[in-house]
Structure 1
Amino acid sequence: MTASRHGRHDAAAGGARTHDAVVVGGGIAGVTAALQLADAGTRVTLLEGRPRLGGLAFSFQRGGLTVDNGQHVYLRCCTAYRWFLERIGGAHLAPVQDRMDVPVLDVGRPGRARLGRLRRTDLPVPLHLAASLATYPHLSPAERVSVGRAALALGRLDPADPALDGIDFATWLARHGQSKRTIEALWDLVGVATLNATAPDASMGLAAMVFKTGLLSDRGAADIGWSRVPLGELHDTLATKALEAAGVRVLTSTRVRETARDGHGRWQVRTDTDVLDADAVVLATAQREAHALLPEGALEAPDRLLEIGTAPILNVHVLYDRPVLRRPFFTALGSPVQWVFDRTEASGFGDGQYLAVSQSAAQAEIDAPVAELRARYLPELERLLPPARRAKVLDFFVTRERTATFAPAPGVGRLRPGTHTRAAGLYLAGAWTDTGWPATMEGAVRSGFTAAGAALGALGRPHEHPLKEAA
């Protein structure tokens, strides 16, 4: 049965016809767009090829454990993702630190491992980080002064300046006196985790956006939040409930084969089993899938989507028979280990401690055999965490996302399309679109806002942007 017979009708008393929209893709961007469209009175069908929602931020079962495919965090400045959590009823399940506090363990220098902390105070920007930087043990006094000067220069930049997109972050840092050690111990410490690229491979425009927004916009902007429950509980279970409560028809395990205009100016979305009619379509898939579904002429240069590269993230999961880490997370220097998170409670593990090691920009390791990764990371965890030397490893496994994010390489800005296409009624959403943000959950939500807003404007539906800053 087609959607035209399923859903299109005029109001019973002769009122205005209810418009139909189809959202293709059930990741965070697609869920956001569907909620916004439904909240404005549009009848929405959301189609997802996987048997679940959540895109690349999901959970799966492994024995008695609920495992996240990767560790995802957000910052207090991620106002769109915080709206998303509130909208699906999950904000209390993914709280933010009272204030930014990042333990940084350096094991790469002779002698004992040394713990430093990056944390803020309640002083105004930029003084909120001054005390932390002044006592940061992983940099020399001269390096700390150079960081302050570079931060002031960064604060004067406009991340939207196209010229910044054409150079890499490492080049800019070198021009501003940043040593190799300073980049390792500070700039890449933050940048690799947020951009999924090291400084030489990152667009200066995106790097400026991350650091200016996260560290120089508000004293609490970089306070870290993360889910205390499996991601699937947020992005699938709660998201599905919110969608259904809003009246969205959610169809999972439904692969879209084609989008095309009919002879009456409406859209037809063809799946393996049905054809859905719509007044508006939002493609909220990855860029390559969107390229395959775009009708001819929808973008001036559609093959630019294929030029947007991807970057992998590797996650190493280790289950110990006893606690080996006393804090919720830490990051490391002088080690292949990047960030380590305690996922014991969230996973339902009750026989020791479960640590997740999150490795961004993992091109060199993404295809490495599990045995090789085990031989590399277990000794490193013992070096970082002395209690691990006495613990028994109950399980060791790896999750790989080979196309976890778009690659934030210099020049990527000119490749990222806006939400509008040349085909009326067809819109794009996804963290890879031109949100101004790197590939984050925040960027995904913002793209959903933009696509839904464009569709509602074209349909003549009154709507308000959820974020006051964008009103």
Structure 2
Amino acid sequence: MIEATGRPAGARSAVVVGGGLAGTTAALRLADAGLRTTLVETRPRLGGLAFSFRRDSAAGPLTVDNGQHVHLRCCTAYLWLLERLGASALAPLQRRLDIPVLDVGRARARAGRIGRVALPVPFHLVPGLAAYPHLSLAEKASVGRAALALRRLDPADPALDGVDFATWLHRHGQSERAIDALWDLVGVATLNAHAEHASMGLAAKVFKTGLLSSPGAADVGWARVPLGEIHDGLARSALEESGVRTLLRAKARTLGTGSDGGRRVVVEHGGETEEFDADVVVLAVPQREAHALLPEQALAEPDALLDIGTAPILNVHVVYDRKVLRRPFLAALGSPVQWVFDRTASSGLTGGGQYVAVSQSAAGAEIDAPVAELRAKYLPELERLLPAARGAGVRDFFVTRERTATFDAAPGVGRLRPGPRTRAAGVYLAGAWTDTGWPATMESAVRSGAAAAREALRGIGRAGEANPVPGTEGRAVA
């Protein structure tokens, strides 16, 4: 007997709704464990917010990443996904942490670095902190004491979730300069929130894991090719090789109970409606979409999903007629600019020149600003940071905006984030916004997909049929 979905009677099956990093991970894990898996994605591509697009620019055709994404050596689940997709060589890590930091807020611009040496934790950071020119000697000593206090914290302590990071920093003797020049330099980029608006629990997770867990934990990696090549192209190939049926431009409309007690998902695609009966359904979509699809009583507090806020990220893209940035990337102080990346090679820019991308997290004040206003603001700032940009011709200038790029890492968000299990049999949640213990990063997304697949397999008595994703073993689930 063949069901409407085309699966043999008695075969275990799964539907994953959402083709971002969380959904891709969940689908691969379920398929690897032998489930007949269908992945449903509304967009014409995979990758979620880690995507690329083509732009016909005055500088020639470009392949543009919608936003700059980086990962760290401590992002073990994301590194697993890169390996699973055959993409490890396309997004390599630094040999050793090295972040150039340029301060242009003083009479004379001053360059410094955040780096590490080959010593045990926490001594691996001591020489770099001692040489960091953007803090006074007293501020450096105070930073060291705060780091030791932070190392003793448990990021999962619910009490930390109700405190903002800035309050904790001030209690531990941190000056406004230290917050700006060090804590927020790292924190804004990873939390998508300034210290005064960020959960101390999430901040503790970032700094304890990234800087104080192992010497190389914070070594930086980034894609040397367009993100779409990895998280769309290679992801599609990996899913196909695993036997996953991928439906693009498809929309899951309803989620109900099937005739055999499993789950029934109604999907619209290609102008038609198809019904899927599945043993497992993973909703790997943003929190509001998940709320709309979840069966009644699936969560103890379903409306808590609607209370999880969102935070924007703005990216400013500039193509110059000459090379203006001599490093792969740099961070800025004393300027509205946060981080600048060289995207020339990955974009396919031809005919000389250089393409740089300015990544602006926690960009609520500017996310809706007109392009002309952003151009008038950021081109002069780039000239302050990059002397070679002074007098350089601008071949193209454009902006990409993600108004709901991440969940809002505000104090109290931890109690709102659900785990992968729901009260509805066979229904699981994934997404960077779920309770992974991490902020809204690619690492959190992959961990959530792995957790949802693990719980789904456990729910059908197949828990031992998928090897754990590194770093996700034993994570408590709600």
Task: Note whether the superposition's TM-score is higher than 0.5.
Answer: yes
The answer for the alignment partner of 2:102 in structure 1 is 105
User: Mapping of 1:36-435 within 5 angstroms?
Assistant: 36-63=29-56, 64-110=61-107, 112-272=108-268, 273-350=273-350, 351-435=352-436
Q: How far did residue 7 of structure 1 move? A: 2.7
Give distance in 1, aligned partners of 2:151 and 2:55: 45
Q: How far did residue 109 of structure 1 move? A: 1.2
* Paired residue secondary structure (2:349): coil
Give distance in 1, aligned partners of 2:165 and 2:3: 51
Give distance in 1, aligned partners of 2:356 and 2:241: 36
* Paired residue secondary structure (2:288): helix
The answer for the alignment partner of 2:3 in structure 1 is 4
**Matched AA of 1:240:** R
Residues 348-397 of structure 1 show CA distances to partners (whole Å, capped at 9, x for unaligned) of 01231000000000000000000000000000000110110121000000
- Does structure 2 conserve the Cα–Cα contact (< 8 Å) formed by 1:24 and 1:46? yes
* Paired residue secondary structure (2:432): coil
* Paired residue secondary structure (2:96): coil
- Does structure 1 conserve the Cα–Cα contact (< 8 Å) formed by 2:315 and 2:401? yes
Q: How far did residue 6 of structure 1 move? A: 3.1
Give the TM-score, by structure 2 length: 0.96
**Matched AA of 1:68:** D
User: CA separation of 1:132/1:232 partners in 2, compared to 1, >3 Å: closer, same or farther?
Assistant: same
Q: How far did residue 274 of structure 1 move? A: 1.1
Q: How far did residue 468 of structure 1 move? A: 5.9
Q: How far did residue 469 of structure 1 move? A: 6.2
Give distance in 2, aligned partners of 1:123 and 1:91: 26
**Matched AA of 2:346:** A
* Paired residue secondary structure (2:250): coil
Give distance in 1, aligned partners of 2:31 and 2:267: 22
| 4+ aligned runs moved over 2 Å, structure 1 | 3-8
Q: How far did residue 8 of structure 1 move? A: 2.5
- What stretches of structure 1 of length at least 5 have no aligned partner? 11-16
**Matched AA of 1:85:** L
- Does structure 1 conserve the Cα–Cα contact (< 8 Å) formed by 2:451 and 2:472? no
Give distance in 2, aligned partners of 1:466 and 1:28: 14
**Is residue 466 of structure 1 aligned with residue 469 of structure 2?**
yes
Number of residue pairs matched by the alignment: 462
- Does structure 2 conserve the Cα–Cα contact (< 8 Å) formed by 1:4 and 1:276? no
- Does structure 2 conserve the Cα–Cα contact (< 8 Å) formed by 1:419 and 1:429? yes
Give distance in 1, aligned partners of 2:298 and 2:19: 22
User: Mapping of 1:5-20 within 5 angstroms?
Assistant: 5-10=4-9, 17-20=10-13
**Matched AA of 1:275:** E
Residues 315-363 of structure 1 show CA distances to partners (whole Å, capped at 9, x for unaligned) of 0000000100111000000000000000000000123100000000000
Residues 250-270 of structure 1 show CA distances to partners (whole Å, capped at 9, x for unaligned) of 000001111001242111111
